[in-house]
Amino acid sequence: MRFGVLGPVQVDGVEVAAPRQRALLAMLVLDAGRIVGHEQLIGGLYPEPPTRAANALQSQVSRLRKTIPGLVIEHHPAGYRLVADPFDVDLQLCVELLAAGRGAEALKLWRGTALADVDAPFVASARLRLREVFINCALSGGTENDLRELLSEDPLREDVRAALMRVLHRDGRQSEALEVFAAGRSLLADELGVDPSPVLVAAHLEVLRAEAPHRGVPAQLTSFVGRDEDLRRVTKWLQENRLVTLIGPGGTGKTRLAVEVGHREQGEVAFVDLSATSDVARALLDGVGVREAGLLSAGPVSVEERLLAALAARHALLIVDNCEHVIGDAARVLGTVLAACPDVKVLATSREPLGITGEVLSPVAALDDEAAVRLFLDRAQAVKPGFTADSELIADVCRRLDGIALAIELAAARVRSLALTEIAARLGDRFRLLSKGSRTAAPRHRTLHAVVEWSWDLLTDAERDLAARFTVFSGSASLDAVLGVCESDVDTLTSLVDKSLVEISGDRYRMLDTIRAFCRGRAPDLAERHARWFLALAQEAEPHLRAHEQVEWLNRLKEDHDNLVAAVTWATAHDITLALELVAALATYYWCRGLRTEAAHLGEAVVHACGETAPPEREEEYALCLLIAWPVATGDQTGRIRQADSLLVTLNVPPRYPIMTMLWGMALGAPQDESQVWHHRNRLLGTDPWSQALALVGDGLMARMQGDHAASEDLLRRGAQAFTEVGDRWGAALAFTQLSEIALAAGDATGALRYVERARGLLEELGATEDTAEAVAGRAHAQLAAGDLAGAKADFDLALTLARRAGAQVVQAGAHLGLAELARLTGDCATARAECDRAWELTPGGWYSPDEMRCHIALERGRVAKDEGDLDQARQYFDEALRRAVGQRNRVTETAVRAELAALAGL
């Protein structure tokens, strides 16, 4: 709802008919979001409070709620509160716009006299308050007519008269501005017997000097895009503080933002660029427009003393640009000015803080996607009118340029000669691509390389060394990683943060890709040191991933995911033993996070680099890589798994990483009871609580496949409890998922939903994308069994979306198979066949028991064919499903297929 009091009282543009309800609403709107006391409301509504005034007020509130459906008025012991977003109240929005220096926009919110249709005791004082707001709007953004109208109503308002003089002066009408001053001086003398105030005198001096109040502030040749929130914040902070420093890397738009603030400032502004000077005081003196010769007779000798004398009695905003070039002198001189000149404020831009007491830092960060796209389009259309392009492609280009405003503008300028796809393709060599800028820009802003080089040249040797070494990281890094890999110290790192070469978010440090590209060529080779440091981290984390601190350690590794992948990739090409150790140490992490497709590709690359044999004393790690890589491997996959099995059979102790026991079982399937393989696996099963929990769940799965549902349910319940006691959410989720399938087979859809929801909650806590997608598909099957076809359809679609994002083909196949069953049940056999085909195409060589998915696809295809009346085709599919089920020794599926064949024989 939108509320208006700057004119007749309105709600969503509609006036309230009842006078007293209108007055009550107005009082609540004036203090929207705050509690208005009972006595204040009663006194504001009634000239003479009625008997039982509290009841009368309550009655009015009740009527108001009924009159305006959706209106939320909360009752509190102290009074009533209107619940409304501040920006939905025209008064609040007006005040915000004023604070942001957008007076013209604020003025447009006024629809006439405030509270024009309200007649109540509170109105007189409220209108006085609102009139001051209106006058401030007019002073900030009013036209000549607005100001003349105000002045006619109150000729003694000197602030209004001064504002009118400045408007006339900016329009080049100095003589009229002087006439306004003369009339005001005469009126003040006749009416009050006083001289003009300093406010009016200052306006008079501006006109007499025939100079604009904004001295040296550069005119802008392009529109201001993408920094509205920064503009509002900086303007507000300058009203409350005397020194605000815009900090950030080169090219982010600090100067542009400062200039925009200066243009919107109503008082005197002086712009000073320190980039080409080493004498800060003299540059400031020149910037404020004071000729040194005019001050020589006054006594001061030094330039700094002259500067202080020039600013001592002035109300001014100094915009001091590029302080990083002379940071020490800039801090000293500006600190002296602020201490000696109480009416001077400073807006500085710098790549590091000035470090002055009272300094407020306003980081100018990368543009978000929306603002970056707007900026790109604005600048591109300036050089190529009519330019349009896909916003996602533009956003991708802007993200790859780190949202740096200058880089975006340089890239946009290239659309005149290059297609956007070509620009995107050439960003790998961004410094060459973005090597042509405006000829009128400062040299350091003409190319992207020059922007970063300016910052580089200001670093100490130690800072340059760390900046170059930092490029070894992919994404962000922790403090321990930076110090451990780069062999640097905290002071140097924090100095790089201060100088905007490195960013900090929470407890992580990162470098913009543009800065990284510049520094990378200057870096020593730290890739091996980086890989070994992250191997140590992975090995330290692994046991914690099977314990109560599982989520904490998963998140720690997740933050370093890019570094871990980079370490594996480098080691695969340069140190295969190290690569094997890394993949093995990360197996539990990848599995618990449900990133099996990514892990499989990494494992396959390592296996390919190893060749057909394991390096000496790394047989266990090699076997683990074979097991991980199998889903995406090409060639003789069965042979690979047998090779892994033969390697593991040689082990005489449980594997170093217990996750291997589970992967081994999933890859080779269920062994026959009392077989040699069965005995060997049981012998290698660890005695630790996690391995024992895994044994319970594994035995439960085997019992289920053999059709013993009672034993299976008991084992899985115990396994879920054991994993819960250990602290492993993934293991518990596995058990709950299997329990949901048992419940589903028993016709207990409600129980199945309960179990699958418990599993899904645990998996979401882990951030296991692939497993979560599978759990959502499981929920869809339970909803299908319960008759909720719409819910099942929504969940199958959601599972498909999640699986696509994760690149999990087998989960996608399962979702398509579910959609096939849903289509068949609703009589749409054509769609069911198409969904079965998609499921088959997405089931590559398999994913741990590949025949299981293909068995279910064949079974569903048979059911579709049977519903279509093609019994021969149905029998062929059922025979195929039976063959696969028998091969897996999955008696549950075998029983289901035989039932279908029996039913088919009876037709």
pLDDT in tens, 163-197: 888 778 766 677 788 888 888 888 888 888 888 88
Inter-CA distances, 443 with 248, 450, 452, 469, 787, Å = 19, 7, 12, 28, 70
CA–CA dist 548, 66 (Å, integer) = 53
pLDDT at position 220, please?
Answer: 61
Least confident of 257-266, 307-316, 715-724: 307-316
Give the total number of structural domains in the chain. 7
Beta-carbon contacts of residue 873 (< 8 Å; ≥ 6 apart): 862, 865
SS (H, E, C) 394-417: HHHHHHHCCCCHHHHHHHHHHHHC
Both tokens assigned to 540 = 């330290």
Asked whether residue 574 is assigned to any structural domain, the reply reads yes
Residue type, 385: P
Q: Is 211 left (phi over 0), alpha (psi -120 to 50) or beta?
A: beta
pLDDT band at 212 (very low <50, low <70, confident <90, very high): very low
DSSP secondary structure code for residue 269 in this structure: E
CATH code of the domain covering residue 336: 3.40.50.300
pLDDT at position 112, please?
Answer: 85
Asked whether residue 690 is assigned to any structural domain, the reply reads no
Inter-CA distances, 208 with 67, 259, 268, 726, Å = 59, 25, 15, 83
Quote the mean pLDDT of the chain.
Answer: 82
Residue 210: how many other CB atoms lie within 10 Å = 9
Asked whether residue 121 is assigned to any structural domain, the reply reads yes
pLDDT at position 716, please?
Answer: 93
Higher pLDDT, 855 or 437: 855
Both tokens assigned to 153 = 């109503």
Q: At 502, phi and psi to the nearest 5?
A: -130, 140
Could you give the dihedral angle defined by the CA atoms of residues 620, 622, 628 and 631, in that order, rounded to the nearest 10 degrees? Answer: -140
CA–CA dist 378, 394 (Å, integer) = 12
Give the mean model confidence (pLDDT) for residues 697-702.
85
The residue written with tokens 């009550």 in the block is 24
Give the mean model confidence (pLDDT) for residues 353-382.
82
DSSP codes, 316-351: EEEEEE-GGGGHHHHHHHHHHHHHH-TTEEEEEEES
CB 728 within 8 A of CB 744: no
Both tokens assigned to 658 = 């217990």
pLDDT at position 682, please?
Answer: 60
Give tens-digit pLDDT for 11-45.
887 777 788 888 999 999 998 888 989 888 888 88
Same-domain check for residues 666 and 547: yes
Asked whether residue 787 is assigned to any structural domain, the reply reads no
Q: At 201, phi and psi to the nearest 5?
A: -65, -40
Same-domain check for residues 513 and 541: no
The residue written with tokens 């044994």 in the block is 695
pLDDT at position 291, please?
Answer: 46
Asked whether residue 269 is assigned to any structural domain, the reply reads yes
DSSP secondary structure code for residue 728 in this structure: -
Beta-carbon contacts of residue 586 (< 8 Å; ≥ 6 apart): 538, 557, 564, 568, 599
Least confident of 158-167, 300-309, 491-500, 700-709: 300-309
Q: For a pLDDT cut of 90, what percent of the chain falls above it?
A: 21
Question: Per-residue pLDDT for 639 more than 70?
Answer: no
CB 81 within 8 A of CB 74: yes
Higher pLDDT, 632 or 599: 599
CA–CA dist 700, 721 (Å, integer) = 13
Same-domain check for residues 319 and 185: no
pLDDT at position 527, please?
Answer: 92
Question: Per-residue pLDDT for 699 more than 70?
Answer: yes
Same-domain check for residues 304 and 319: yes
The residue written with tokens 């006024």 in the block is 110
Which three-class secondary structure state does DSSP give residue 247? strand
CA–CA dist 310, 291 (Å, integer) = 10
pLDDT at position 293, please?
Answer: 38
Closest CA to 320 of 285, 295, 294: 285
Domain end residue (candidates: 684, 702, 729): 684
pLDDT at position 439, please?
Answer: 44
Question: Per-residue pLDDT for 330 more than 70?
Answer: yes
pLDDT at position 298, please?
Answer: 40
pLDDT band at 668 (very low <50, low <70, confident <90, very high): low
Same-domain check for residues 514 and 465: yes
Inter-CA distances, 219 with 259, 381, 731, Å = 8, 21, 65
Give the mean model confidence (pLDDT) for residues 144-157.
84
Same-domain check for residues 678 and 532: yes
pLDDT at position 16, please?
Answer: 78
CA–CA dist 474, 434 (Å, integer) = 23
pLDDT band at 672 (very low <50, low <70, confident <90, very high): low
Domain end residue (candidates: 684, 714, 743): 684
Both tokens assigned to 467 = 């900046």
CA–CA dist 883, 897 (Å, integer) = 10
Inter-CA distances, 452 with 348, 379, 446, 499, Å = 20, 22, 11, 12
Same-domain check for residues 538 and 666: yes
Same-domain check for residues 346 and 441: no
pTM above 0.75, yes or no: no
Both tokens assigned to 885 = 């089920």
pLDDT at position 108, please?
Answer: 86
CA–CA dist 343, 547 (Å, integer) = 62
Inter-CA distances, 473 with 519, 527, 557, 762, 893, Å = 12, 9, 14, 31, 49
Asked whether residue 812 is assigned to any structural domain, the reply reads no
pLDDT at position 302, please?
Answer: 77
CA–CA dist 517, 431 (Å, integer) = 9
pLDDT band at 655 (very low <50, low <70, confident <90, very high): confident
CA–CA dist 812, 247 (Å, integer) = 47
pLDDT band at 633 (very low <50, low <70, confident <90, very high): low
CA 670 to chain centre: 45
Closest CA to 571 of 607, 528, 601: 528
Strands ordered across the beta sheet of 503-505:
476-478, 508-510, 503-505
Q: At 347, phi and psi to the nearest 5?
A: -115, 110
Give tens-digit pLDDT for 852-875.
788 899 999 999 999 988 888 989
Give tens-digit pLDDT for 41-90.
888 888 888 888 888 888 888 888 888 888 888 888 888 999 888 778 99
Same-domain check for residues 463 and 447: no
Using alpha carbons only, give the angle 319, 325, 328 rounded to the nearest 5 degrees: 85
Asked whether residue 669 is assigned to any structural domain, the reply reads yes
pLDDT band at 723 (very low <50, low <70, confident <90, very high): very high
Could you give the dihedral angle defined by the CA atoms of residues 70, 72, 75 and 76, in that order, rounded to the nearest 10 degrees? Answer: 160
Question: Per-residue pLDDT for 473 more than 80?
Answer: yes
SS (H, E, C) 618-675: CHHHHHHHHHHHHHHCCCCHHHHHHHHHHHHHCCCCCCCCCHHHHHHHHHHCCCCCCC
Q: At 232, phi and psi to the nearest 5?
A: -65, -45
pLDDT band at 444 (very low <50, low <70, confident <90, very high): very low
pLDDT band at 640 (very low <50, low <70, confident <90, very high): low
Both tokens assigned to 163 = 């504002």
Higher pLDDT, 426 or 296: 426
Element (H, E) at 214: strand 214-215
CATH code of the domain covering residue 476: 1.10.10.10
Same-domain check for residues 386 and 427: yes
Same-domain check for residues 284 and 396: no
Inter-CA distances, 510 with 139, 464, 500, 556, Å = 45, 15, 11, 16
pLDDT at position 446, please?
Answer: 46
Question: Per-residue pLDDT for 442 more than 50?
Answer: no
Beta-carbon contacts of residue 165 (< 8 Å; ≥ 6 apart): 177, 180, 181, 200, 203, 204, 206, 207
Closest CA to 252 of 226, 217, 216: 226
pLDDT at position 296, please?
Answer: 39
pLDDT at position 845, please?
Answer: 53
pLDDT at position 582, please?
Answer: 96
DSSP secondary structure code for residue 473 in this structure: S
Give tens-digit pLDDT for 397-408.
888 777 777 677
Q: For a pLDDT cut of 70, what percent of the chain falls above it?
A: 87
Structural domain of 205: 154-211
Asked whether residue 738 is assigned to any structural domain, the reply reads no
Same-domain check for residues 22 and 98: yes
Which three-class secondary structure state does DSSP give residue 355? coil
Closest CA to 817 of 868, 870, 781, 768: 781
Domain end residue (candidates: 684, 708, 725): 684
Higher pLDDT, 344 or 638: 344
Element (H, E) at 779: helix 769-785
Length, in residues, of the chain: 907
Least confident of 415-419, 475-479, 490-494, 832-836: 415-419
CA 223 to chain centre: 26
pLDDT at position 739, please?
Answer: 92
Question: Per-residue pLDDT for 791 more than 60?
Answer: yes
